[in-house]
Amino acid sequence: MKFEFPNLTSSQVALIRVDKNTGHLLDENFFIATSENQKVYTIFENANAAIVIADLIVKEKKDIECSIFDSFQNLIRLISSD
């Protein structure tokens, strides 16, 4: 399944969540993304805001890693509990 990358301004970033054990892309509720109706990208106004949330996610859920992408779809940070 292909999820369309959101349109971002130059300062915005998009965060995704992945199950480290399976590699499955997760939606915002941490369910495996199987439908285009699920929201897999969370948009933040800047990278710092996304990093704060990603740090909280991986501290609470050790089997999840978060990736943060810039408006050009470049990976700018991978955050994991490892």
C-alpha distances out from residue 27 to 3, 10, 11, 14, 37, Å: 11, 24, 23, 13, 10
* 2 belongs to a structural domain: no
| Average pLDDT score over the chain | 96
28-37 tens-digit pLDDT: 999 999 998 9
pLDDT at 58: 97
11-52 tens-digit pLDDT: 999 999 999 999 999 999 999 999 989 999 999 999 999 999
Total count of domains within the chain: 1
pLDDT at 82: 78
In the numeric block, which tokens belong to residue 55? 């740090």
* 34 belongs to a structural domain: yes
* 6 belongs to a structural domain: no
- Cα Rg of the chain (Å, integer): 12
For the whole model, what pTM was predicted? 0.93
Reported confidence tier of residue 7, pLDDT bands at 50, 70, 90? very high
Beta carbons of 14 and 43 less than 8 angstroms apart: yes
* 41 belongs to a structural domain: yes
Structural domain harbouring 56: 13-79
Cα(57)–Cα(62) distance, integer angstroms: 8
